[in-house]
Structure 1
Amino acid sequence: MPVRLRKLIGTIIIIILVVIYALAATTFASLLLGTAPWWVHLAYFFFTGLLWVLPAMLVIKWMEKPAKPR
């Protein structure tokens, strides 16, 4: 697969990942953390704000693989 095509696909995957992840994290927080203290909200959004980076790193690593020689 050409590098440019892999980067295009990876970019689209990351955008979809971030949107779905943000919606899921916010929905979960609003359903289950509504009566929790402010520091629970702070900790939750801190960790969920960093957690999306793990799958994004895998996609970026895949995007940056060199093209196979023909």
Structure 2
Amino acid sequence: MTQRKRKLLGTVALLLLIGAYAVLAVAVAIVLQVRNVSKVAELVYYVVAGLLWVLPAGWLIAWMQRPDA
């Protein structure tokens, strides 16, 4: 697969990943608020959830940037 095709597929996949992750993160945040967890636990969740999406996005971007054979 050429780098150009990988970038196209990777861009679409990245947009889908971020959209799905945002929906999932909001759903978990709502559950935390309904269960009245402590503010510290909420803060920890928001920090972790705010940074966790970077790992799969980084792997995807690294795959997209791989040079052609």
The residue correspondences of 1:17-32 to structure 2 (distance < 5 A) are 17-31=17-31
Q: Does 1:13 align with 2:13?
A: yes
| Cα shift at 1:40 | 2.1
Q: Normalized against structure 1, the TM-score is what?
A: 0.86
Structure 2's unaligned 5+ residue stretches are: none
Percent identity over the alignment is: 40
Q: How many residues align?
A: 67
Q: Does 1:57 align with 2:58?
A: yes
- State the partner residue of 1:3: 3
* Structure 1: 4+ residue segments shifted above 3 A: none
CA–CA separation in structure 1 for the residues paired with 2:22 and 2:42: 15
